[in-house]
């Protein structure tokens, strides 16, 4: 089956520039699991969450529909990376203690994915969707990023992006929900690192294909003006949004 592939041609940049998740997220998810034998990270990209889960589970199966993404993933002895759609993991029935999709569920056929989750989950297994939207850096920089995000890129975001922007609140989630703590990704980046991250956005490629590179270059120049010295390091934050639940016995919710 085909899938909406926005990232294979930028898999190297995705691996180099996408932020990793906080330890507190992996601790929270592991704490919900009935056991810690096997976690399944669907839509794993290049393993930003998979590696953290490997420190808390005996094994992690990390799947992504993009073979290019999987090929760039960070290796770990307890992670098996597999090119597979989220709707067809290849896992045995009733084998998974945690099924998680981070920054990926808005691309899935959700009904088929949830059917797969119910098939592979142990009774009482945890299921979680994780997403993050636009980052914040500082009062002089944020308006530049938001203007580029909303005005230049606005027409080029895939329609699924709306689910990221509302924190997955409108996504179907047919499980009894568990309250999640307030969490955020926080890192320190130079301007070059931040621009590398922006270059992984699906809308940037679409804009460049439609109109050329001029608007992206203009954004880079404006960011250089407000950032300060190119080597200056700034704190970058992304609040996380979670939908978390449990898979009950007999495939119920």
Q: What is the pLDDT of residues 195-207, one digit of tens each?
A: 999 999 989 999 9
The answer as to whether 71 is a domain residue is yes
The answer as to whether 2 is a domain residue is no
| Mean pLDDT, residues 41-70 | 96
Find the domain containing 127 and state its range: 8-251
Phi and psi torsions of 124, nearest 5°: 85, 5
Give dist(CA 132, CA 64) in Å, integer.
19
The answer as to whether 92 is a domain residue is yes
The answer as to whether 95 is a domain residue is yes
| Mean pLDDT, residues 77-82 | 97
The answer as to whether 1 is a domain residue is no
The answer as to whether 223 is a domain residue is yes
pLDDT of residue 183 exceeding 90, the answer is yes
| Two tokens, residue 249 | 């016995």
pLDDT of residue 27 exceeding 50, the answer is yes
Over the chain, what is the mean pLDDT? 93
Q: Are 52 and 26 in contact (CB under 8 A)?
A: yes
- What CATH number is attached to the domain comprising 153? 3.40.50.150
Domains identified in the chain, total number: 1
């Amino acid at each position: 089956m085909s899938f909406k592939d926005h990232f294979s041609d930028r898999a190297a940049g995705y691996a180099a520039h996408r932020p990793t998740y906080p330890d507190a997220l992996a601790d929270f998810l592991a704490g919900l699991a009935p056991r810690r034998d096997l976690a399944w990270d669907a839509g794993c990209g290049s393993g930003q969450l998979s590696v953290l889960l490997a420190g808390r589970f005996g094994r992690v199966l990390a799947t992504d529909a993009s073979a290019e993404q999987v090929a760039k993933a960070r290796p770990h002895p307890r992670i098996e990376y597999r090119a597979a759609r989220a709707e067809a993991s290849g896992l045995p029935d009733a084998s998974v203690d945690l099924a998680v999709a981070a920054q990926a569920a808005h691309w899935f056929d959700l009904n088929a994915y949830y059917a797969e989750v119910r098939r592979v989950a142990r009774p009482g297994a945890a299921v979680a969707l994780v997403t993050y939207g636009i980052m914040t850096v500082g009062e002089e920089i944020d308006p530049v990023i938001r203007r580029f995000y909303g005005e230049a890129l606005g027409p080029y975001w895939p329609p699924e992006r709306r689910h990221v922007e509302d924190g997955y609140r409108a996504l179907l989630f047919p499980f009894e929900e568990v309250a999640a703590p307030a969490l955020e990704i926080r890192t320190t980046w130079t301007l070059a690192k931040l621009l590398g991250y922006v270059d992984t956005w699906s809308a940037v490629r679409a804009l460049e294909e439609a109109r050329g590179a001029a608007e992206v270059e203009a954004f880079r120049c404006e960011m250089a003006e407000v950032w300060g010295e190119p080597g200056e390091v700034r704190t970058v934050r992304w609040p996380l949004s979670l939908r978390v639940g449990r898979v009950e016995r007999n495939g119920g919710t």
